[in-house]
Structure 1
Amino acid sequence: MTAHPAHGQLGYLQLPTRDLGRSIAFYEAVFGWTGEPQHGSFHAPGLGGQWSTDLAPATGAGPVLWLCVDDLHPALSRVVAHGGRVHGRPRLDQGARWLAEVDDPDGTRLGLVAPVRTARAQPLLAVRDVEVSSAWYQRVLGLVSDHGGPEYERLLADGVLVLQLHRHDVTHHHGPVVAEPDAPLGNGVLVWFGEVTDFDGVVERAAAAGAPVVRPPHRNPPEGGGNGPSHREIWFRDPDGYTVVVGSPDGEVWE
């Protein structure tokens, strides 16, 4: 902290701990804090502090710190994975934010505040071989597996779910994902990925993977056609015949 905080501002925080290493791992994973094991100190956004073995954990009593997180489900998952506990279901606060109460590994009660989001596309494709398709999308587009397995897959881009894969003949609890199990997969469906900075790399990796090209790299709109989205596109097919469209960032080929 380079300047003295304003009068009345929270300027330093001490948190109880029984295990410094465990506390550092928890707060780094859940909130992105930076812990320093030699002195037990930490740096958080706009705040510094220290873990102390001289303080008793505030288990269900005392003030509650409400800390902001970017996404609700990943934060709750990291709480549990790093020795914490989630208390009940999150609640929607006046339609403006999600609130959830958790304990850190020592039992100190914390509050999580997550933003409310509008609808986000999370397409699910019925595929013949989930693991083959997952490896293909990871190789060509650089997506990251968030589930794995032969029946279902979640694929992330920059930590955000952008694609789901489901084996076409597995019903799970929701029944079949295709209305006609014997019909060809991929017909009439375009899976669109925009704002892809590594456009040229995708073109190279798609060629190396042997992906059939539907429309080679081209400008949208064509040269001399004005500036519309002014990006490049390539259309090719994935292993199940779905047409995959990859677009460079809008404005990348401005005229």
Structure 2
Amino acid sequence: MHQHHKINYIEMPSKDLNKSKAFFSTVFGWAFTDYGPEYCAFSDEGIDGGFYLADLSISSQTGAPLIVLYSSNLEASLAAVLAEGGSIIKPIFSFPGGRRFQFSDPNGSEFAVWSE
């Protein structure tokens, strides 16, 4: 159900949609629907969204919002990110409320994963 004035959808750039789909499908179990050669969407992943084809990437260093995913097994998620071609930007560290790491996907976009 859509909620008035709540974040409803997020769109992110991808230099290679096939790489994005393969990475997020394998590492996080996401499923995608293609809408032509320049857009793919995901749903039921905490928030719905999509990737659009662009020669851009997202990074907190350039002021982009940091998209943070949840994991019940942080170490296994980190291993899966590395196994599928991601790179670690910040290794696992503690913060008030939990632990997290930050990584870039194979297209160079930055994300984070946290756990209690």
> 2:81 maps to which residue?
79
Say yes or no: does 1:24 pair with 2:12: no
Give 5+ residue unaligned stretches, structure 2.
none
> 1:112 maps to which residue?
113
Aligned residue for 2:4, secondary structure, equals coil
Aligned residue for 2:57, secondary structure, equals coil
**Deviation per residue, 1:114-173 (Å, 9 max, x gap):** 22xxxxxxxxxxxxxxxxxxxxxxxxxxxxxxxxxxxxxxxxxxxxxxxxxxxxxxxxxx
Aligned residue for 1:25, secondary structure, equals helix
Residue 98 of structure 1 deviates from its aligned partner by: 1.0
Measure the CA separation in 1 of the matches of 2:74 and 2:50. Answer: 26
One-letter amino acid matched to 1:47: I
Measure the CA separation in 2 of the matches of 1:44 and 1:84. Answer: 23
One-letter amino acid matched to 2:111: L
TM-score (norm: length of structure 2): 0.82
Question: Which entry has the higher C-alpha Rg, 1 or 2?
Answer: 1
Residue 55 of structure 1 deviates from its aligned partner by: 6.2
State how 1:25-64 maps to structure 2 within 5 Å.
Answer: 25-39=22-36, 40-54=40-54, 56-59=56-59, 60-61=61-62, 62-64=64-66
RMSD of aligned alpha carbons:
1.9
In 2 relative to 1, CA 37–82 (structure 1 residues): closer, same or farther, beyond 3 Å?
farther
Measure the CA separation in 2 of the matches of 1:55 and 1:11. Answer: 25
**Higher RCO (CA 8 Å, separation ≥ 6 residues):** 2
- Answer yes or no: is the 8 Å Cα contact 2:12–2:50 preserved in 1: yes
One-letter amino acid matched to 1:25: A
1:67 pairs with one of 66, 69, 72: 69
Report runs of 4+ in structure 1 exceeding 4 Å deviation. none
> 2:6 maps to which residue?
9
Give 5+ residue unaligned stretches, structure 1.
116-255
State the percentage of identical aligned residues: 23
Measure the CA separation in 1 of the matches of 2:26 and 2:72. Answer: 13
TM-score (norm: length of structure 1): 0.40
State how 1:1-255 maps to structure 2 within 5 Å.
Answer: 3=1, 5-39=2-36, 40-54=40-54, 56-59=56-59, 60-61=61-62, 62-94=64-96, 96-115=97-116
One-letter amino acid matched to 1:6: Q
Q: How many residues align?
A: 111
**Deviation per residue, 1:43-96 (Å, 9 max, x gap):** 2334222110136212432111111112111111111122211123211123x3
